[in-house]
Amino acid sequence: MQFQITCKHCGKPFGIEAQQGQTVRCNCPFCGQSAVVATPMAEVSERQDAPLDVRRQPAVQSARPDGWSLGRKVTVVFIVVLFSLIALSAFLYIIFSAMSN
């Protein structure tokens, strides 16, 4: 079966001859770089729709803690940047006040 592949190195599309569900190592005809391609299985592609729906529900549930931890990270980074800016401005104020004296 013919599969259409886009080269990861040069981004050009080319075709390979492979069995379905096979992992094929091939060389790009444009740039010569070797690429490992996992060809999709026709029967599994229908089954993959069902696990995708199952995966969506935990993904939404796990998105809440992820989003929360991301918000905490952003808050922590913001506080660190804010305090470093305050420390920097205080440091510069001390230096400039010492220089003007």
Closest separation between CB of residue 39 and Zn ion, Å? 18
- Residue 1 touches Zn ion, criterion: CB under 5 A: no
> Toward Zn ion, which CB reaches closer, 15 or 67?
15
The residues in 4-23 that bind Zn ion, with binding defined as CB under 5 A, are 7, 9-10
Identity of the residue numbered 22: Q
Residues in the chain: 101
CB < 8 Å & 24+ apart, contacts of 84-90: none
Phi/psi of residue 2, each to 5°? -90, 130
- Residues lying near Zn ion in the complex (CB under 5 A) are found at 7, 9-10, 28, 30-31
